[in-house]
Structure 1
Amino acid sequence: MRVRTYEIGDTQQIVKLFYDTVHEVNIRHYTKAQVDAWAPADIDIESWTKSLSSKFTFVAEEGDKIAGFGELEASGHIDRFYCHQDFQRQGVGRLILAQIDLKARNLRIKKLFTEASITAKPFFESQGFIVVKKQKVERRGQKFINLAMEKFI
């Protein structure tokens, strides 16, 4: 397993990973209507390419398969952070987060923060993040619970 920076050619595989993870993993904590709103079937590849390219995006890969990805913004915000359903609980998230942490330290960022799903909360807690608050957000007409979490580095 290796972690590297995002390349534009990764976008299709990342979008599929995102969609599949939300629909196969996050479905344990959210309803079908919620996951459909969170990860719709008609994801705009062009907007994802722009978004992934505008951040410090790290990709974990095993052979030619992307196992996970995570995005760091210059503010210390971790935006999207997903692990492929076939690579859950195998250290992929830790590898990606280690790269995010290293990049953040190089940028002299003092705090990492994210809005974690109920599903991702235990992972982030295991990596030293604390829950700041539980929040209700809305996406495409569906309300979701997520957790504002942070970690000082």
Structure 2
Amino acid sequence: MSYLHIRSYRPEDAPQLHHVYYTSIHQSCQNDYTPVQLDSWAPKAFDPVCWGKILEGLMPRVVECKGQLVAYADLQKNGLISHFFVHGDWQGKGIGKRLLRHLEDRAFEKNLPEVSSFISISAQPFFLAHGFTFDHTLSTEVRGQWIENALLRKRILPPSPL
């Protein structure tokens, strides 16, 4: 997928990344969560200033395809991946796999022994298929709704050749 470009976040990306976040959750999680849970987790209306501050704190890597932002993810100093979202229309095209490999390569460069993330029920098969292991389940309250997910972890090994 040479047409994909992974780059650093820029503040002007915030509105498009909210759309990525929203579609990722509403399209990929609809079989595992109720509409009320989805709306609480990813409301359509959002505060652009607040959203921008969240993204500036995360400093995610952004996947761009022909000028369109199609995915984003962050990697914190402690190895936590707080956000990992692929636009709902772009899922199943290898973008998540490429973005995850990019994060793992960055974790290796930073000498992190592992990466971890709190993964939705819907995304767990993807992460488990890419070498993550299950740690434990939990529920998080989001705007009055309980959202079930799980903590998954992966040991970081040297990057694999392309």
TM-score range relative to shorter protein: over 0.9
What is the aligned partner in structure 1 of residue 160 from structure 2?
Answer: none
**Contact preservation (8 Å) 1:60, 1:95:** no
1:29 aligns with 2:32: yes
1:46 to 35, 49, 54: 49
Question: Which residue does the alignment assign to 1:105?
Answer: 108
Contact 2:82 2:117 in 1 (8 A): yes
Number of the residue aligned with 2:132? 129
CA contact (8 A) 1:25 1:85 kept: yes
From the two aligned structures, give the one with the greater strand fraction: 1
**Equivalence for 1:96:** 99
Could you tell me which residue of structure 2 aligns to residue 14 of structure 1? Answer: 17
Which residue pairs with 2:85 in the alignment? 82
How far did residue 50 of structure 1 move? 2.1
Which has the larger displacement, 73-82 or 21-30?
Answer: 21-30
CA RMSD of aligned residues (A): 1.2
Does the 8 A contact of 2:19 with 2:87 survive in 1? Answer: no
1:131 is paired with a residue of what secondary structure?
strand
- The total of aligned residue pairs comes to 153
Partner Cα separation in structure 2 for residue 133 and residue 8 of structure 1: 34
Q: Percent identity?
A: 29
Partner of 2:148: 145
Q: Is the 8 A contact 1:112 1:152 kept in 2?
A: yes
Does the 8 Å contact 1:136/1:144 carry over to 2? yes
Query: Normalised by the size of structure 2, how large is the TM-score?
Result: 0.89
* 8 A Cα contact 2:11 2:56, kept in partner: yes
* Residue 67 (structure 1) aligns with: 70
TM-score normalised by structure 1 residue count: 0.94
Aligned partners of 2:137 and 2:148 also within 8 Å: yes
1:87-135 per-residue CA deviation (whole Å, 9 max, x = no partner) reads: 1111111111122112212221111000000111011111110110111
> Which sections of structure 2, spanning at least 5 residues, go unmatched?
157-162
Residue identity matched to 1:129 = F
- Detail structure 1 runs of 4+ shifted over 3 Å in the superposition: none
- The one-letter code sitting in structure 1 at the alignment partner of 2:120 is S
**Is the 1:52–1:71 contact (alpha carbons within 8 Å) kept by the matching residues of 2?**
no
